[in-house]
Amino acid sequence: MLKLKKFNKKENNKISSRKFIFAGIIILIILSVFIFYKSYAIYKLEKKYDVIKSQIKEFDTENMILSFTIDGNKEDVNFPSKNSNYIVNSVTCQNGTSANWDNENWGLINIVPGDSKKIRCNIDFKGAYKENILNGADPVLKNNLVPVNIADDGTVTKASVYSEWYNYENKRWANAVILKDDSSTYSNDAVIPESNIESYFVWIPKYSYEIFNLGETDGYTESKPTISIAKEINIKFGLTNTIDSNTNECSTPMTSGASGICAVGDYMTHPAFISMNANGLWVAKFETTGDINNLTVKPGVRSLRNQTLKTMFEAAYNYQRDNDSHMMKNTEWGAVAYLSHSKYGINTEVRINNNSSYLTGYASTDSTDQSSYPGTYGTSSDVTLPYNTTTGYKASTTGNITGVYDMSGGAHDYMAAYRKDTYGSSEFDATTLANYNSKYYDEYDSSSSWTTHSKRILGDATGEMGPFYYYADKDGNNRQHNNWYADFSYFGDSSDPWFGRGGHYTYGVLSGQFGFIGDTGGAYSRLGFRLVLS
C-alpha cells in the first residue's frame, strides 16, 4: 500500500511537471506570435506612413487609423497614386494629432500624436477638373504637354488642372503646349512666353454623332442649288462605342464605302477615336510650321510646305513618338470639322485664312469678297487679320481663340489618306507604306474616282456633305461643290490619289472645313500638313 502511494505521488509530480512545461511552451508560442505580429504591424505601419501605397479605403492598426476622401467624399476607388492627377487638399487628424503630407514621397510625415492613444487621420484629395458633359472624355495630358489658358489677346498662361481650364459646353476647348525648353517650370497662372512655346495643340474629345446623311450617292447635278442644307450636327461625348444592338445607335463601319446597318438618325462613334483607341485627340492648333527637321505649330508664322507626302508623313511620325504623333488623316479632319459644326463649336463655316504669305492663324476681314472663286487675298490689315483679334476668332472652329485654326484657306493640307494601291508622286510604295501601322492612314477603295462620293469613310466629312453640284464660279470655270457651303468636292482618283483638305488662301468660297480634293502626293508650294497627337 505504501509503495502504491509513493508511486501515485511520483506519477502526480511527473504530470504536474509535464503540465508546467506544456504551459510554458504555449506561453512561449503566444509570446512569439505576439512579438512577430507587433513587429510585422510596425513594419506595415512604417511602410504605409513613410510612403503610402495602400490600395484599401481605410488602413487600421492597433494605434493608427488612416482613411481618405476625394473632394470630401468617400469614393469606391483605389488610393490615389502620385501621378494620378490628384493633389492633397488637406490632412485632418483627430484628438490633437497633427501630420503633414510629403508630395515628393507621397506619404504622411511629421506625425505628432495627440491626446488619444490612437492616431486617426483622413487625407482629402482634390481631383483634376472634369466637365460632366464630356462623360469621361476629358483631356489626357501625357509626357511634355503643358495645359494652358489663352487670353483673347493671345497671352498664354499655365493652367491648373484642378481648376476649370476648359468648358466645351461654352465652346471653350482645352489647349496645351509643348515647350522649346522643357526644363523650364511655370507656376499656375504664370505667363509662358511665346519664345518658349514650340507647338500648340487643342483637345478633341471622343464623341458619337447623329448621322445626317449616309453619303451613298455618286455623281453630281449640273446646276447651282438655291439653298444650303447645312445643319447643326448633334454630338454626344463619351468613351463607350456605339453598337448595333442599342436603339438609335450603330457600330462604326470604319472602311471605305461601308455603311454597316447605320441609318440617318442613328448615333455612331466617330471612327477617328476608334482607330487610335483614344479618349480624344490633340490636334495641332495651326498648320505645321518650322522646318522639316524641326517641326513647330505656331501662330503668325509661315506654314511648312513644298514637301512630298512621304516626307511630311515621316516627319510627323517622328515628331513626338512618346505622344504617338502622326500626320492628320481624313477621318481626323472630319472629327474636328463635325465638332466645329455642333453646338459646342462655331456651328457655321469657319472664316478663310486669306493671308497670301501663308501666315498661320489669319482670317479675312468682313470687307473682302469670298463669295466665289477666286476670293480676295493679301497681307494688309484691311484684307487679313491675325488669330488674336475679333476678326481672327472667326477663323477658329469655336469662334473664339480656344479653337483650331487654318481649317479653311492658308495652305492646302495634305492628309494621310489615299486611294488603295495608288501612290502617285508621294514617294511611298507598297513596301514603304507597309512599314507603318495602318492606323496612321486612311485607305480608300482602289476603284474610286473624283465623283465616287460613296467610297467615303463615314465620319470623314466627304461623301456625307452631298448632294454635289457642278457649276461655274465667277472665273467662268465649272467645278464640283458640296451643298453645305459650296466647298470644293473632288474624291481621290487614279491621277490624284492623296486627299487634301481646307483649300488655299486664293480659293474664296471653295475653301472651308468641309472641302476635299485629290492631289498627287508630290511636293508643291501650296500644300502643307497638320500634326495630331494621340
Q: What is the pLDDT of residues 107-166, one digit of tens each?
A: 888 888 888 778 889 999 988 999 999 999 999 998 899 999 999 999 999 999 999 999
**Predicted pLDDT at 19:** 59
Run of H or E including 47: helix 2-50
- Locate cell 504669305: which residue? 357
Low-confidence ranges of the chain (pLDDT < 70): 1-25, 27, 29-62
**Predicted pLDDT at 287:** 98
Quote the DSSP letter at residue 195. Answer: G
**Predicted pLDDT at 58:** 58
Beta-strand relationship, 527-528 and 412-419: parallel
Run of H or E including 355: none
**Predicted pLDDT at 41:** 42
pTM here is 0.86
8 A C-beta contact, residue 442 and residue 433: no
**Predicted pLDDT at 39:** 47
Run of H or E including 246: none
8 A C-beta contact, residue 54 and residue 66: yes
**Predicted pLDDT at 33:** 52
CA distance 290 to 197: 12
**Predicted pLDDT at 14:** 52
**CA distances from residue 282 to 140, 157, 165, 198, 501 in whole angstroms, order as listed:** 9, 18, 15, 15, 18
**Predicted pLDDT at 107:** 86
Return the C-alpha cell found at 309: 507626302
